[in-house]
Amino acid sequence: METKPIRVRFAPSPTGPLHIGGVRTALYNFLFARKLKGTMILRIEDTDQNRFVPGAEKYIVDSLRWCGLDFDESPETGGPHAPYRQSERSAIYREYIQRLIENGHAYYAFDTEAELEAHRENAKSSGHKTFQYDQVTRKSLKNSLSLTPSEVSELIASGASYVIRVCIPENETVVVQDLIRGEVSVNSANLDDKVLFKSDGLPTYHLANVVDDYLMKITHVIRGEEWLPSAPLHLLLYRSFGWEDVMPKFAHLPLILKPDGNGKLSKRDGDRLGFPVFPTSWEDPKTGELYSGYRESGYLPEAVINILAHLGWNPGTEQELFTMEELIDQFSLERVGKHGSKFDPEKAKWFNHQYMQKKTVEELADLLAPRLSEHHLSPSPEYLQNVLRLVKERASLVPDLWTNSWYFFMRPTIYDQQVYQKIWQPATSSVIKELAAEVEKLADFNKDSFHDLVQEFTARTGIKMGMVMNPLRLLMVGSNQGPGMMDMAGVLGKEEFLARISIGLENLGASKA
Ligand code: GLU
């Protein structure tokens, strides 16, 4: 039997920035497609004009690109099923909704918003279950099922506003096969007659989504669990169109939960709990509110991909760090769990630290470059790499590179007074001066020769190592931070080392005075 080529789509609505849950959906689609040599499609679902946010589509494309996810067909790249923006496909949906009206699977509904509101109020005050437009209530509402054909034609001819609703079949068990959840069944009595086509002439998500998945020959719908309740309706729509035999397979991904496991990780949680929930930062065009992003917080895209890969999928081995190629190779929907995964911000940082360590010093130099030019610094590549080799291990996030290395490029101008008070003794200045005089005479100053000199100096004078090392560190860095003193001295070099001693002693002397 010939197998159909795999085609998957990521179908975001441009209603704001893409939450990491959305990035994960895109990632799993991408991995699935790449693994099975299929096609990955980006479809922009922008038929809800009320929720349209300018800039959101660009944000989605750019932030996914930063993560390393690209598309074979998209509004940007085009493709055999263009256009890929639903707002540009309205004529198509009009044609398909007409088919449903004709075969009795959809109907016109003329109820005004005020009338519907009154029904809702009524249901509430009489203590009944909440009002829904469904197979029971539709019989007594204002629609083409309850009105006569001539009443309907008159209303339409008079320009009355209407929507088109799906006509859910009565009392039928609808069974959806989900690749992750197994069999999900619901009685159609519990489904409402959702609006498929709005009074503004545009389809709702449900109609446009099903029509496009069919026309774009989608084989697998991989999306978040929040869409699972819509799957029975979608299945009924496929059936109503007569497309059941080419219906895509469904895979609903488990939720990403808040760190404490209490509910879905929301857009607001990140900044509230101190970690980003968006791939890149986003400024809300309406409110001007700024949401932080992984990129701006100093995460590497490889790390973000890994964090998300593990939130729902597990490789079934101990391996934690993957390249994109390894993920593509190992990913399968069978290894995606049913249960929500807690987002762990500490683990996220850990992942980033791991990927930072995998970077070469040349790559790290590129990451540090913007900070150096901000400070008008242009160290030699060799010096920069020597510094990075020393501080790399302490860097979890990109900004840590600068916080842990700036003093290699600039002399300290302030000295931590608390440290000073604690370590500086009456004899310290003269001890350091004595040591500096010996360093001065050293022909070949490097980490090892300096180490030997200090060893010899302390042994000879009986001065404790700490009495030498702590003050030296304060003079070099301005605090008690930094890598090993010998390493630091070796990288700074003799001239700079001695300069910092004399400047520091002068400054500290002045501050004391
Ligand atoms: N437009 C929907 C969303 O914003 C797509 C859901 C689906 O993949 O079917 O998530």
Can you give the pLDDT of all 513 residues of the chain as single tens digits?
568 899 999 999 999 999 999 999 999 999 999 999 999 999 999 999 899 999 999 999 999 999 999 999 999 999 999 999 999 999 999 999 999 999 999 999 999 999 999 999 998 888 778 999 999 999 999 999 999 999 999 999 999 999 999 999 998 999 999 999 999 999 999 999 999 999 999 999 999 999 999 999 999 999 999 999 999 999 999 999 999 999 999 999 999 999 999 999 988 888 788 899 999 999 999 899 999 999 999 999 999 999 999 999 999 999 999 999 999 999 999 999 999 999 999 999 999 999 999 999 999 999 999 999 999 999 999 999 999 999 999 999 999 999 999 999 999 999 999 999 999 999 999 999 999 999 999 999 999 999 999 999 999 999 999 999 999 999 999 999 999 999 999 999 999 999 999 999 999 876 543
What distance in Å separates the CA atoms of residue 135 and residue 213, rounded to the nearest whole number?
27
**Domain containing residue 9: CATH number:** 3.40.50.620
Q: Considering the domain boundaries, does residue 448 fall inside one?
A: yes
Strand order across the beta sheet in which 220-224 lies: 39-42, 7-10, 220-224, 249-253, 173-178, 182-187
Mutate to test the pocket of ligand 1, among 13, 194, 225, 264 (most ligand atoms within 8 A of CB): 13
Q: Are residues 282 and 374 in the same domain?
A: no
Q: Is residue 85 part of a domain?
A: no
Nearest C-alpha to atom 5 of ligand 1 is from which residue? 11
Tell whether ligand 1 has an atom less than 6 A from the beta carbon of residue 230. Answer: no
At 95 the three-state DSSP class reads helix
Token pair in block for residue 153: 């034609």
Considering the domain architecture, whether residues 354 and 365 belong to the same structural domain is answered as: no
Could you say which of 147, 162, 195 is where a domain stops?
195
Distance 222 CA to ligand 1 centre (A): 10
Q: Which of 18, 27, 51, 205 to mutate to test the pocket of ligand 1 (most atoms within 8 A of CB)?
A: 205
Q: Is 12 in the pocket of ligand 1 (CB under 6 A)?
A: yes
How many Å apart are CA 170 and CA 190, to the nearest integer? 10
Q: Do residue 503 and residue 457 come from a single domain?
A: yes
Judge if 388 and 419 occupy the same domain.
no
Is residue 241 included in any domain, yes or no? no
State whether 428 and 457 are in the same domain. yes
Best of 209, 228, 233 for a ligand 1 pocket test (most atoms within 8 Å of beta carbon): 209
- Domain holding 393, by residue range, is 361-404
Query: Among 258, 267, 342, 447, which one carries the catalytic annotation?
Result: 267
Active site residue 139: no
Q: Ligand 1 center to residue 263 CA distance, Å?
A: 20
Are 157 and 187 contained in the same domain? yes
Residues 424 and 497 in one domain: yes
Does 227 map to a domain?
no
C-alpha distances (whole Å) from 46 to each of 84, 156, 208 are 10, 27, 10
Rg (CA), the chain: 32
CB 141 within 8 A of CB 148: no
Residue 164 lies in a domain: yes
The answer to whether residues 449 and 496 belong to one domain is: yes
**Ligand 1 atom, smallest distance to 205 CA:** 1
3-state helix, strand, coil in the chain (%, to 5): 50, 10, 40
* Domain match, 1 and 54 both: yes
Domain boundary (195, 219, 240) is at 195
Q: Where among 373, 404, 435 does a domain terminate?
A: 404
Contact 386, 446 (CB under 8 A): no
Regarding the beta carbon of 193 and ligand 1, being less than 6 Å apart is answered: no
The reply to whether ligand 1 has any atom less than 6 angstroms from the CB of 13 is yes
SS3 183: strand
114 and 51 co-located in one domain = no
Please report the atom of ligand 1 found closest to the CA of residue 13. 4
Q: What angle do CA 94, 140, 167 make, to 5 degrees?
A: 35
Q: Which residues pair with 359 in a beta bridge?
A: none
Written as one letter, the residue type at 391 is: V
- Domain CATH number, residue 191: 3.90.800.10
Q: Assess if residue 301 is contained within a domain.
A: yes
Ligand 1 pocket member 47 (CB < 6 A): no
In the 8-state DSSP scheme, what is residue 334?
A: G
Number of domains in the chain: 4
Tell me, yes or no, whether 28 and 60 share the same domain.
yes
How far does residue 213's CA lie from ligand 1's centre (Å)? 11
Give the ligand 1 atom nearest the CA of 9: 8
Indicate the SS3 state at residue 28.
Answer: helix
Q: Is 203 in the pocket of ligand 1 (CB under 6 A)?
A: no
Ligand 1 center to 251 CA (angstroms): 13
Question: Strand, coil or helix: what is 353?
Answer: helix
Answer whether residue 319 is part of any domain.
yes
Q: How far apart are the first and last CA of the chain?
A: 91
Say if residue 351 is in the same domain as residue 367. Answer: no
Residue 239 in domain:
no
How far lies 289's CA from each of 87, 283, 481, 496, in Å? 27, 6, 36, 45
